[in-house]
């Protein structure tokens, strides 16, 4: 009897309808909850602040700070946020400042919080980056072939001058530092440099060993930023507020002090573990997934490699 009801096609249709409407009602009930959780994790709104002349600082959204340089016919963008949504929101906000098409994107390096937003890019745009940044982006494209469109369309080696519709930019790479393909963009006329992830204040700089970044290269690049002629006055970066020469000098001094202290402890015969302990670096809890080495460990390894 029960089986014959279950096999009845009319009953099956009814059961399906009941199931669909139940799922629909559950979705309606949960919608505010789902929206709430999205709101909880939504990134801060995009805001654009003028720094000097035609150089703008783009904060907020998901991912690192980006920079806008409007030209005469199109806009130049430095870096691309972390998500397609944030990238599109940024383009919308840019239109309020400079309603020109996007003409060129310069990538400071290959980290996801600077490039993943390129997934939101529509149409073809010139994308410029250091050759190593291109190479570091290749594994991502190999995993997801449709991302081929986000690869840099042009690369350079040591330096490259761009005359972008009235603004002269010099792209420079001083060797591996944060990654192996960092680009520092010097805008000499404005005395401004856009430095990617070369500046962190109040925390240790990040050096990506897995992308062949190096501590000594990081120091060298910071010094080259200060030595650039004409002298740069404003240093912009992915995760800090605009900084002056004094802050960059202090960052170099604090890193050199750290290096000197590590050397001193090595000369006293201390082991890496003892040195890390002296710097208050805590060992990761058992079972924690593979972590990035702390700065002290990177400095230690590089000093030992040179010995
Ligand atoms: Zn980075």
- Residues 54 and 153 grouped into a single domain: yes
Cβ atoms within 10 Å of 150's Cβ, excluding its own: 21
Residue 284 inside a domain? The answer is: yes
> In which band, very low, low, confident or very high, does the pLDDT at 128 lie, cut at 50, 70 and 90?
very high
* Predicted structure pTM score: 0.84
- 64-99 pLDDT, tens digit each: 999 999 999 999 999 999 999 999 999 999 999 999
- Residues 242 and 279 grouped into a single domain: no
**Spacing, Cα 144 to ligand 1 middle (Å):** 21
**Spacing, Cα 111 to ligand 1 middle (Å):** 5
Number of domains in the chain: 3
- Residues 88 and 35 grouped into a single domain: no
Share of the chain above pLDDT 90, in %: 76
**Spacing, Cα 190 to ligand 1 middle (Å):** 25
Residue at token pair 């139940």? 22
Task: Tell me which range, 12-26, 46-60, 134-148, is most confidently predicted by mean pLDDT.
Answer: 46-60
- Residues 90 and 219 grouped into a single domain: yes
**Spacing, Cα 109 to ligand 1 middle (Å):** 7
Beta strand 75-78 with 102-106 is parallel
Q: What's the chain's Rg over C-alpha atoms?
A: 25
Which tokens hold the place of 267? 């000369």
Q: What is the pLDDT of residue 3?
A: 47
Q: Is the pLDDT of residue 20 over 70?
A: no
- Residues 144 and 94 grouped into a single domain: yes
- Paired with 192 in beta bridges are 187, 234
Q: Are 78 and 104 in contact (CB under 8 A)?
A: no
- Residues 99 and 20 grouped into a single domain: no
Name the phi and psi angles at 289, rounded to 5.
-65, 165
- Residues 179 and 270 grouped into a single domain: no
């Amino acid at each position: 009897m029960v089986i014959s009801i279950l096999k009845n096609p009319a009953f099956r249709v009814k059961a399906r309808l009941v199931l669909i409407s139940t799922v629909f009602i559950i979705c309606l009930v949960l919608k505010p909850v789902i929206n709430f959780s999205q709101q909880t994790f939504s990134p801060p709104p995009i805001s654009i602040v003028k720094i000097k002349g035609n150089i703008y600082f783009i904060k907020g959204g998901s991912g690192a700070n980006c920079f806008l340089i409007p030209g005469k016919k199109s806009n130049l963008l430095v870096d691309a946020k972390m998500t397609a949504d944030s990238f599109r929101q940024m383009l919308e906000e840019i239109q309020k400042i400079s309603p020109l098409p996007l003409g060129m994107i310069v990538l400071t390096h290959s980290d996801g919080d600077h490039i993943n937003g390129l997934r939101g890019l529509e149409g073809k745009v010139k994308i410029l980056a250091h050759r190593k940044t291109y190479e570091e982006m290749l594994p991502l494209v190999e995993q997801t072939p449709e991302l081929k469109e986000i690869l840099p369309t042009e690369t350079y080696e040591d330096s490259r001058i761009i005359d972008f519709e009235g603004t002269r930019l010099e792209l420079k790479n001083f060797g591996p530092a944060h990654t192996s393909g960092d680009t520092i963009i010097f805008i000499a006329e404005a005395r401004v440099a856009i430095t990617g992830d070369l500046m962190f204040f109040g925390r240790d700089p990040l050096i990506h060993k897995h992308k062949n970044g190096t501590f000594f290269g990081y120091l060298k690049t910071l010094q080259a930023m200060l030595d650039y002629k004409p002298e740069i006055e404003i240093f912009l970066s992915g995760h800090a507020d605009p900084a002056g020469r004094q802050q960059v000098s202090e960052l170099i001094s604090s890193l050199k002090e750290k290096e000197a202290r590590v050397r001193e402890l090595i000369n006293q015969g201390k082991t890496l573990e003892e040195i890390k302990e002296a710097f208050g670096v805590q060992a990761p809890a058992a079972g924690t997934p593979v972590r990035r080495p702390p700065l002290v460990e990177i400095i230690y390894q590089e000093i030992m490699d040179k010995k």
